[in-house]
Amino acid sequence: MIFFGYMVDGMLGKGLSYQVVNADGVLTRSERFEAPISSMVHDFIVTSEHVIFPILPLTGSVQRAMRGEPAFAWEPDKGSHIGVMPREGSVEDIRWYETDPCYVFHPMNAMTSGIQSARTSCNSKRRRYFRTLTVARPIPKRRTRGCANGKSISLIIRGGFKRTYLDDITGEFPRLDERRAGLEYRHGYYAASTGREGSMGFNALVHQILQKTSPPVMSLRPGII
C-alpha cells in the first residue's frame, strides 16, 4: 500500500509525507518533504515506476484564516507544480514541473511509458467551491465547470510538460478497472453532467475510451445518480 499526507508540518503548512506498507502490514518507508506552496492536495497519482504529487493553487494560509478570510482560496498566480519521484528513489529525487493553474480532485489513472510519465484526470481551470483573493464573492457558476477541460492527459516529456484534452464533458469521480491501476489502459468511466452550463448535477455516465474523441454517454433518469 502506498499513501501520502499533507500539512504534516502543521495546519495549512507546506509539508508532505510519503509512506509505503508491505503485504505483511509493515511500514517499510516514511519520508517527508516540503512542497513549493501550501496546497489542498486532495489526491496523488502512482504509476508502476513513478509517484506524482500535484501541488495546485488551491492554497492554504493560517495568516489568511486569522484575518477572517478563507483558510483555502484559489490563487492562480501561484501556478501548478507537479512533483515526479521515481518509486525506487527518495523524496530527494523529486523533480518539479510548473504548468498553468488547474485543479484535480480525483485522478483516473496514471502510467509510465518509455520516456513519458503520464497521468489522466478530471481537470478544472477554476474551483467554484472556493473564493479567490481578488473578488469579494465566489466565482459565478456560469464561469466555471466541474471539469472545465474534460478528461486530460498530461505528459512529462524530456523535462517538458504538455496537456492534451480528450473531451469537454463536465464530470467527476472517474473509475477504471483496478487491475490496470498504474498501468497502460484504454477504458475509464465517470459521472457526468449533460445539463445546463455550469451545472454539477450528475445525470449521465461517460465511458471514456482513450484515443477516441467522442466517448459514449449514457443518460440516466432522475434518481439514478
Residue 56 counted as domain residue: yes
Backbone angles phi, psi at 99, to 5 degrees: -150, 180
Are 192 and 205 contacting, i.e. CB atoms less than 8 angstroms apart?
A: yes
Residue 123 counted as domain residue: yes
Q: What DSSP letter does each residue of 5-68 carry, written as one string?
A: EESTTSTT-SEEEEEEE-TTS-EEEEEEEE-SS-B-----EE-SSEEEEEE-SEEE-HHHHHTT
Q: Is the pLDDT of residue 132 over 60?
A: no
**Number of domains comprising the chain:** 1
Q: Is the pLDDT of residue 27 over 90?
A: yes
With the C-alpha atoms ordered 186, 22, 97, 132, is the resulting torsion angle positive or negative?
positive
pLDDT digit string, tens, across residues 179-220: 988 888 888 888 887 766 555 578 888 888 776 655 566 665
pLDDT digit string, tens, across residues 145-170: 434 334 556 666 566 677 777 777 77
**45, β-bridge pairs:** 52
Q: Which helix (H) or strand (E) holds 128?
A: none
Q: Is the pLDDT of residue 43 over 80?
A: yes
Residue 224 counted as domain residue: no
- 53/22 Cα distance (integer angstroms): 21
The percent of residues above 90 in pLDDT, for the chain, comes to 41
Residue 170 counted as domain residue: yes
- Please report the pLDDT score of residue 39 as a whole number: 96
Residue 132 counted as domain residue: yes
- 112/49 Cα distance (integer angstroms): 6
Q: Which domain holds residue 69?
A: 2-219
Contacts of 27 (CB under 8 A, 6+ apart): 19, 20, 21
Confidence of residue 64 (pLDDT cuts 50, 70, 90): very high
